[in-house]
Structure 1
Amino acid sequence: MSKSWYDKADDKQIQQLNKNLTSIFRTQNPVSNDELFWTSFKGYAVNLKNVKCKLNKKVNGLSAKPIIDIAIEINHFLDGEQCVTALQGLGYSYRGTNVLPERHYFSKGEPRTHQIHMYQTGNRYLFEQINFRDYLRSNELARSEYEQLELNLSSVNTNDKHKYAEGKTDFVKSILERI
């Protein structure tokens, strides 16, 4: 989740997002209130029977692009297809499973304001994202270097998200090799 979005969002926007996401997950995986919990919206976490949000990409002290970035862990990869209609009803576009490796990918807005990655439990890309996030949270130097890299890339690649992403690849790989 993007820190800058939360900094700008008012209570009404956060409440609406909370309602939208809760509605999606309850529609796709009916659960009782005891099985559904929110730790806090900034530390977003949902625990459901078959679908659960596991990743909060927020790193304190790191400026971020204004995109709400959500990773969802699903028990079976095909379960992601069951969420397509509900997410489309909330304005998400299903981009399929071939855009990014081993995940269902959804985006919202143009320019993009939200994205959802759905991974099967145990997916290596999900683990890499969590490990990278946790490393940045605990290492001030790496966090500062990554922030500077992102700022430089975003100023040079204002209209090319692919070049922006490619520019981060070597840095991310070097961190993952260390941990």
Structure 2
Amino acid sequence: MLGLPRGEVFLVPWTNEWKKEFEIEKQHIQDLIGPYINRVHHIGSTAIEGLSAKPIIDIAIEIHAFSDGEKCAPALEKIGYAYRGTNVLPERHYFNKGEPRTHQIHMYETGNRFLAEQLRFRDYLRRNEPQRKEYEQLKLALAHSNSNDKHRYADEKTKFVKTILEEM
């Protein structure tokens, strides 16, 4: 399953289809804006095998210069992305696709600290099953108690993420 309706929060069990969907989307993106890209990463919970997640593929794109993000918008709009600007999340261009939403792009200049933290956290959970299971239980509880409040859900998860990053 892929797609999260606006305003809802729910999790589904991890599936190998998410890896395949990421690879397909990555290729489309590279075909369209390849000259601006340094690297493309699968991030978020769908990138962590065995972790239940909101059914949205999160994609991080490292670009050469931050100003290139706006230049990429017209091409990405051709494959269904809506450009939401740079004020949604810190130090990134943000795009989303679909309703229900199926994909999100977080576009960073190479070397961005927020991207580095996301990659460190993703890789940590990939290697540490006990913490991955603890994070999953937290997410399940938060999704249940915040099924219509994505901001509160995200804020509560952030506390766990920050604790892990500080311990690393």
TM-score w.r.t. the length of structure 1 is 0.76
Which residue of the partner structure matches residue 59 of structure 1?
A: 48
Match status 1:50 vs 2:37: yes
Displacement of 1:5 in angstroms is: 5.8
Counterparts of 1:104 and 1:8, CA distance in 2: 23
Q: 1:98-135 CA distances to partner (integer Å, 9 max, x unpaired)? A: 10000000011233211000011110000100111111
TM-score w.r.t. the length of structure 2 is 0.81
Which residue of the partner structure matches residue 136 of structure 1?
A: 125
Q: 1:61-80 CA distances to partner (integer Å, 9 max, x unpaired)? A: 21111001101111110111
Q: Which runs of 5+ in 1 are unaligned?
A: 31-48
Displacement of 1:177 in angstroms is: 0.2
Describe how 1:83-162 pairs up with structure 2 within 5 A.
83-162=72-151
Question: Root-mean-square deviation (CA), in Å?
Answer: 2.7
Counterparts of 2:88 and 2:15, CA distance in 1: 25
Which residue of the partner structure matches residue 25 of structure 1?
A: 30
Displacement of 1:52 in angstroms is: 2.2
Corresponding pairs, count = 156
Match status 1:78 vs 2:83: no
TM-aligned CA distance change 1:24 to 1:61, over 3 Å: closer
Structure showing greater Rg: 1
% identical equivalent positions: 56
Deviating above 4 A after TM superposition, structure 1's stretches of 4 or more consecutive aligned residues are none
Greater relative CO (CA pairs within 8 A, separation 6+): 2
Q: Secondary structure at the match of 2:60?
A: strand
